[in-house]
Structure 1
């Protein structure tokens, strides 16, 4: 998709677990009849978009805006359709100088997820309400209401569904797998953004990227695509919600001790939340207890794992005692797992004595399995605890509020995309994807690039300490990075107090000099 690339590429390879070269030109279209995968004839596409007018109040400020829902058709240099990317754009109406108005391009992760979570939970003009006490969302009807926390007063918003998610799809002779990969995905989204800037005459506006979960991986790869070619699009800021950039910190594999270190403070936060720590530790408060877990993880625990069989028995016992303190697990259990507790085992083991499991995306949630045996949970209670509400909300909103007429299925989360993902970004067969160096290099070549990182204390999908370890390395200028922490999980915005704080923090990020 790019003729020249000034960048070098970090090494990486396949990582199979879920998280939940052509030059392209593009044209904007709206309503379309379904086309079969791989079908070359796509003349039924109608070159128009759906535009609706709306008004709302955000932070006591009345906002009028338009919503533009439609497809962008990516074509090769011969004009042959390659893919359709569906997006929803929100543009504030009363803007006098668009060059001073930021635009934020937003996407979720998976890989294989549509952008509904950040759309209906944080940035967008409507929000679906799920129980604040980490309980299951149950069945419809759900509360869908105007989002007083929307960021539309700060920035125009563009929600992007990558190929294979939402309504987006491959066209013509192309297959979905042609777009399902770290590099392939970033290239197609970069071309979409270039075309959006042309269509809306916004090349000189401040530009932000916002991604969640694998969307943070996408954001880092996307910065490289946008800033790396000779048609340079410099980015003002990148927002990483529940970040995962270096997968060596999340991939449990024999011989790799990084995840055991990176996940430990999340285990400490979880044990604290579920009252599996001593009264003395409870009295410390969450943040202080977690800080002690950090120090133990990076010092005594990391050293013990590195020493392996060379570890003296007295040191082993001391480490085991502290590990039991921070995890809430018994010393006998820690003996059986050789001081190494994986996240999947932990979510099953911590509350086994109560016949309960805990969530992966948000460990505040609890669930019940068919039985209390085994090493891993049947399902993630923090996943099925919110997905019904978000799925209903995005469908209702698309068809009722935005007037979308597309009849083909809207893919909330595609396992086909996830399983078909190409994680090899270097052309070499390496063990772990690491896109963090992209951000370091982008900062070195763009003095204004800043990075926002939002972390949930109770997130076992993208643990906060692993993120801290990633940002401590990889050539990133941490003077231009702001780290924020919330007493919630992967989607911290489902918890009201965390949502309010997150929005306040993002608003400040849009105004680095403190002037609005």
Structure 2
């Protein structure tokens, strides 16, 4: 009957954003438009009955509306619907009394439905079923990113060193501090956890005494991890600086961590009092590609040897590389990262360190790792990044020179910087094109001229038992002409018409630079200051920063001071003091031999070398020559950038460097590392 109203499902009374129309009737106020729940489909005719039924129950005037009056089209969040055809008039003239309308149950308009309730319920079910990462994705799908991260990430925990005293039984408490953070990466808010602490590096088990555990050192680290991403697809990268004798100081404070000090060399202050660098979010952090672990070798940071071992025991290439191997194994086992892709990143002498450690890791295989709790197979190494590396190799033999300085291209690039486009021999060539020209010039012009010019042919009957002073044949006209021709081009390259032939072709090719504006920068030849040494001036600045950052950002509290070099001395303006503490008592290791060994054990191992154009400490030509002489140049690519030793100090270099590193991480045989990004 017209006066009868069906039951209205409460789901159709959900609030919507469109305004409600109200009208007065003898039953009180009723909604003319009843909104309905999104996603519920229903027959349009039934939907249209709701306003008809509501109107039929009302008496808004002295006379009821005529039977069969048409209703206007109704507009709702679901769309516009046409009115139903008018009802046929009754066939009898007898008065018909309408039956009383049944009361309509309405949900109050101020009651909201929690859009995340379903996601939370689903997440709870997935967690109960042991599928945590699917639970995370369920919450993320509802926009509950922070809740998703909290579902699986460790809670914030402040580690106070004084509350965890070391003992012989427990030389270091391996419980890390933790603190959750978020930042914007590639336009998206990303959550991550900062942690700090020690892991004990144990020596590999002795087959003759497998129950004995030799705790060698407690290694301090700081990590940044995206715990909401499945570990089997999420790489982890271990960072090491060099020296030898430095902690992960430079890389941690200024390269790819979520926070960094902005340096922007060569634009350094001229006066020491103005050495202040802003702390900024690292928009180009490598956290989008990998979890990051910054590692301090024994004697640096808060890392220490465990008695009866002494720190000096590890100040040589072989035990140093072994402790890297053992720390990586301990970190992996404690964090169940066996199936994660793993990378080593070594800067300067740290490049030698990771070359050697990489070969040891590959050689040990899975023997150092516990089984992955998930049952997935253990991965060893996926890749190694050599950043401004100091490698061992026979680079000079490539050019048939007994000993050599391969600094010519680097110095020429610095000269180009100071002379500027108008005066430089580079002309309209790009930096990359000019570097290629200098490589060819050194190999095909300078090196052959140097060899010919320094070739000595003894004059018969002189020296030895003859009693006559040793004498050599004079240089031939052909050699002198060759030297003069090469010298002319060298003068143009170095912008120095006063350059003499002896300066060019003596001292193993270490050509002097006399260009206006040149400072004393070795790590970046473009740097210059008035009252301080531009080489390693940042050590104390970075050390003070980490002392402050660790409690504030990482929740790690200690009364000790962060050790910035193995001699535990304060750096002053005279430069490095720690490197001399490092002994090469076994022999030089960490270079092309170890790289070749690692590749032999795993031909799929990815490698990348990155260098700065203006770094005269470890030059790009030196590394390229070592790899070429060893036959590795087609396997291990070298890429150069507009910077010095620490290219990440230079803002102009960061973008191209990050692009190259992104390509490296994403290259085959890498896994899909961008999962969740």
Query: TM-score w.r.t. structure 1 length?
Result: 0.80
- Give the count of matched residue pairs: 459
Distance 2:562 2:434 in 1: 43
CA deviations over 1:144-192 (Å, ceiling 9, x no partner): 1211111112111111100011111222122222111111111011000
Residue 469 in structure 1 maps to residue 615 in structure 2: no
Secondary structure of the structure 2 residue equivalent to 1:395: helix
Within the candidate set 301, 305, 325, 2:492 is matched to: 325
Distance 1:53 1:380 in 2: 38
Distance 1:280 1:44 in 2: 59
Distance 1:75 1:257 in 2: 40
Secondary structure of the structure 1 residue equivalent to 2:351: helix
5 Å matches for 1:85-484? 85-95=219-229, 97-136=230-269, 138-139=273-274, 142-231=277-366, 234-246=380-392, 256-259=402-405, 262-275=406-419, 279=423, 281-285=425-429, 286-307=431-452, 308-310=454-456, 312-336=479-503, 338-340=505-507, 346=512, 349-351=513-515, 357-368=519-530, 380-384=533-537, 386-387=538-539, 389-415=541-567, 418-426=579-587, 433=589, 435-476=591-632, 478-479=634-635, 481-484=636-639
Distance 2:606 2:634 in 1: 9
Give the deviation of 1:288 after TM superposition: 3.0
Give the deviation of 1:256 after TM superposition: 4.1
Secondary structure of the structure 1 residue equivalent to 2:180: strand
Distance 1:248 1:31 in 2: 49
Distance 1:434 1:153 in 2: 30
Q: 1:102 to 1:75 in 2, by over 3 A?
A: closer
Structure 2: which 5+ residue stretches go unaligned?
1-157, 206-211, 368-378, 457-474, 569-577
Secondary structure of the structure 1 residue equivalent to 2:288: coil
CA deviations over 1:195-244 (Å, ceiling 9, x no partner): 11111111111111111111111110011110112546631111111122
Match of 2:666 in 1: 511
Contact 2:197 2:221 in 1 (8 A): yes
Distance 2:539 2:177 in 1: 27
Match of 1:374 in 2: none
Give the deviation of 1:447 after TM superposition: 2.7
Contact 2:404 2:509 in 1 (8 A): no
Contact 2:543 2:563 in 1 (8 A): no
Contact 1:364 1:488 in 2 (8 A): no
Give the deviation of 1:44 after TM superposition: 7.3
Secondary structure of the structure 2 residue equivalent to 1:313: helix
Structure richer in strand, relative to its length: 1
Distance 2:164 2:507 in 1: 49
Secondary structure of the structure 2 residue equivalent to 1:216: helix
Q: 1:359 to 1:197 in 2, by over 3 A?
A: same
Distance 1:34 1:284 in 2: 63
CA deviations over 1:308-352 (Å, ceiling 9, x no partner): 144622222223222333234454455257443776x84xx534x
Q: 1:335 to 1:140 in 2, by over 3 A?
A: closer
Distance 1:202 1:490 in 2: 32
Contact 1:247 1:433 in 2 (8 A): no
Match of 1:70 in 2: 197
Secondary structure of the structure 2 residue equivalent to 1:240: strand
Contact 1:178 1:184 in 2 (8 A): yes
Structure 1: which 5+ residue stretches go unaligned?
1-28, 370-378, 427-431
Distance 1:265 1:411 in 2: 36
Contact 2:354 2:590 in 1 (8 A): no
Within the candidate set 634, 645, 649, 1:494 is matched to: 649
CA deviations over 1:439-497 (Å, ceiling 9, x no partner): 12222221321111111000111101111111213242624x33222111111111112
Distance 2:392 2:347 in 1: 15
Give the deviation of 1:292 after TM superposition: 2.2
Contact 2:321 2:353 in 1 (8 A): yes
Distance 1:322 1:433 in 2: 38
Larger Cα Rg: Structure 1 or Structure 2? Answer: 2
Which structure's relative contact order is higher, taking Cα pairs within 8 Å and 6+ residues apart?
1
RMSD between superposed Cα atoms in Å: 3.2
Contact 1:65 1:90 in 2 (8 A): yes
5 Å matches for 1:31-50? 32=161, 41=168, 45-50=172-177
CA deviations over 1:398-452 (Å, ceiling 9, x no partner): 12111222222212233475223233555xxxxx656212112222221321111
